[in-house]
Structure 1
Amino acid sequence: MQLFKEMCDKVFSAVANALKRCPGYEGYAEKFTRISERVVEGTNKFWTSKDVLLPVILHVDCWKNNFMFKYVDGAVADVRIVDFQFSKVHSPAADVQCFLNANASEQLHRQHFDSLVEEYHGALQRTLRALGMHQQADAYPLRQLRADMDRAAVLGLFNSALRGLHLATESHSEQVGQAFKKSDESSAALAATYSNPECVSYLKYIAPIYESKGLL
């Protein structure tokens, strides 16, 4: 938890610094400077909760660089998932929050977030029924997944804040390596990764959303 706290301190500080440079978002920037401890506490409270209606095996570190795709004639023919050291058993809402907030573009969030959640729920239902788990499927309607996602919203907030690092792996991977080293270069490396225009636009988009959820 101490390592997670240190990571949150740096990431949310970088988010705040990025938003400070955006006219009209200075108030959100101030809130992000104070959010780290609350996110750590909320994350710990979620993962230690025993109130889980449908326990499933989770990946937890569910972002695009942990997925490997094999293409045949331009179409995906196979998928492999790697990096399972954080895996645990908990609510399926956790991986959905992590994956969509760490990976889906701003456009997808704006236009298709709800339909992606519905698609996931449909696949989950089909899998449960194929396994003969009809009672569990009946007890986990879409509204329950949405309610669980609200309880896991703090995970969405954290993974949204990681967006700068995820984008940096595409073009400035060396900056990511410096970002969490205990050195004078750490702050500069994070500032550079979070200056990405796509990242800034996304942060401006999600800040009011998480404020409305009472997380800022």
Structure 2
Amino acid sequence: MGDRVKQKVVEWLKDIFEKESVENLEFEFPDYDNSGGYAADIIFVDLSGIQNGIKKNYSVLVKKGKEVSQALDTLGLKRGYACEVELYSKTIPIFRELAEEKHCEPFKNIPECYGTVERDEEFIIILQNLKPKGFRVHDILRPHDLDHLKLVLEAYANWHAFNFALRDQKPAIFEKLGRNMRGIEKTELFRIYVNTLQKEIDFVVDFYKDRKKPHIAEKLKNLRKKVKNESRKCFVNEDEKYYIVRHGDCWNNNFLFRYNENERPDQVVVIDWQMGLLGSPLADVSQFILYCSSRKELEHLDELLKLYYDSLSRKLQELGSDPEKCFPWKACQEAFNRYAPLAVAGMTLSIRASFRKDTEPSYNITDSVETGDFCGILGEGVRDPEEYFDRIDGVLEFCVNKGYI
């Protein structure tokens, strides 16, 4: 990281923390691993200062949008940066106010945000660094067990409940949310995303050659033909009555877990909201379950969906809204069936990303404008091909048997 970037980071942090009367600020830049920031730069900073005569220490994560270029404009990444800034600076405070009005717990499954910057095509979010508090990403090669799945589903249920309650009680405010979350289906990003899904489906189909399961390969080929149209309908919410602000990127690396002394997860935080968009809550739920489970966990699908809906209903009632009015159980079940096929398509990309070999070090996300897909992130082939196939085949067999594809 160059001196110019460090200087800019110090300026942003001073602007934010001095407004909170934190003075005599000092900064250190620890050498944390910040790999994987393909769509944004991640910078860790430890800072200290004096507030009301008391010394304060902060460990923060600065999330900085890539330098704006024609390629980034073409990809529409500015939309994603603006979306995430809006979520932390406006949506979360609105939900916090709603919780205070109803005297209930706010949405807590998200990093604390100290402040945001959006000016001169700069998009900056200053978040609490959760690494020192013991939060970490789940092992990318292992499916989430039921404990992990339930924690995330409860978090999504609470997020969706705040959306539905606001939409129910303050519809004018809700409709102002997501100003940056519309129109993704018209962007080059959408075309590249669809191309990537189609190529990953082809990649999986190749694995089925000589494995005596032609029925699954044929199901995948039929799904490939539908991906573009079904994705477009999902993003424009065609015929979707129950839409909310979605997370939109529900794969392994976007959840940080804290573990107790028995190494069981007891808290989860959802990160990376730049793919946020308006849509069905079950588009997130189906995506998360199919991306992060194996066949073993999917055998508990009915239990997991019921847990999600019960959590959603409890929070809606706490917030003063009627679950049957906002999002009936029957609508929840139907929505899972509707969005499961898209989740299956995305699962081919998510699991490939989990089993990828080392990504080309020189990979730049802007290369996708020229290549027409994001496959450069995935490198060549997969590690542990048989384990990769067993994982993906188990999910596909389950989905075929259930009639999702």
Q: Which has the higher strand share?
A: 2
Q: Residues 135-214 of structure 1 correspond to what in structure 2 (within 5 A)? A: 137-139=323-325, 140-168=327-355, 172-174=357-359, 182=371, 189-193=379-383, 196-208=385-397, 209-210=399-400, 213=403
Letter in 2 for 1:97: S
Among 273, 276, 282, the alignment partner of 1:93 is 282
Q: CA deviation at 1:18?
A: 0.9
User: Structure 1: how far apart are the matches of 2:340 and 2:292?
Assistant: 15
Q: CA deviation at 1:12?
A: 0.7
Q: Residues 44-55 of structure 1 correspond to what in structure 2 (within 5 A)? A: 44-55=232-243
User: Structure 2: how far apart are the matches of 1:95 and 1:113?
Assistant: 15
Q: CA deviation at 1:9?
A: 2.4
Q: Quote the residue 2:226 is aligned against.
A: 38
User: Structure 2: how far apart are the matches of 1:32 and 1:176?
Assistant: 31
Q: Residues 68-107 of structure 1 correspond to what in structure 2 (within 5 A)? A: 68-73=256-261, 74-107=263-296
User: Structure 1: how far apart are the matches of 2:258 and 2:401?
Assistant: 40
Q: Quote the residue 1:9 is aligned against.
A: 198
- State the Cα RMSD in Å: 3.1
User: Structure 2: how far apart are the matches of 1:31 and 1:142?
Assistant: 29
Letter in 1 for 2:282: A
Structure with larger Rg: 2
- Give the TM-score normalised by structure 1: 0.79
Q: Quote the residue 2:217 is aligned against.
A: 29
Q: Compare relative contact order (CA 8 Å, sep 6+) and give the higher one, 1 or 2.
A: 1
SS of equivalent to 2:307: helix
Aligned residues: 205
Q: Which runs of 5+ in 2 are unaligned?
A: 1-189
Q: Quote the residue 2:115 is aligned against.
A: none
SS of equivalent to 2:259: strand
- Give the TM-score normalised by structure 2: 0.45
Contact 2:352-2:382 within 8 A present in 1 as well? no
Q: Which runs of 5+ in 1 are unaligned?
A: none
Q: Does 1:120 align with 2:305?
A: no
SS of equivalent to 1:132: coil
Contact 1:19-1:203 within 8 A present in 2 as well? no
- Tell me which moved more, 202-211 or 36-45: 202-211
Q: 1:11 to 1:149 in 2, by over 3 A?
A: same
Q: Does 1:66 align with 2:254?
A: yes
